[in-house]
Amino acid sequence: MNAFIFRSIIGIFFGAFIAVMTTSALIYFGGQSTIDGLLFIKDAFGYIFCGWLFTVTPLYFKIRSLRLPMQTALHFLTVTIVYFILGLWIGWIQIGVRNFLIYLAISIFGYAIGWIGFYLYFKNESKKLNKDLRRH
């Protein structure tokens, strides 16, 4: 429970930080001198929720009773479905079959790259630990 609360707080603050930085970049680099207040609030809450979502869902990988394929499937489905619904509601993703397929392709590709990267990183770390254990 402590990990959930800690990750929730970190995710919420990180999402808020990204919202402010994105809005600042839009104003500074995009040449917009004003922004729509309601749109800012909607987007900010979206960023905050995403920050929370993306920091809490990796807790699936801490559930030892689940095997890695199940942890991965639950994590992927949770993140993909919840983000898609949020994106539709906020307006980040437009409704349409083509847009859904593009979203799905990007999600699968991005998730695969991230998963492979983490897998290789932790595999390398375990090799280092095993090597150190054999030395002692």
Q: At residue 44, does pLDDT exceed 90?
A: yes
User: For residues 53 and 7, what is the distance between their CA atoms, to the nearest angstrom?
Assistant: 9
User: For residues 3 and 59, what is the distance between their CA atoms, to the nearest angstrom?
Assistant: 8
Q: At residue 136, does pLDDT exceed 80?
A: no
Contact 14, 51 (CB under 8 A): yes
Read off the DSSP letter of residue 33: S
| Amino acid in the structure at residue 50 | C
Q: At residue 28, does pLDDT exceed 90?
A: no
pLDDT at 32: 80
C-alpha neighbours within 13 Å on the C-beta side of residue 127: 6
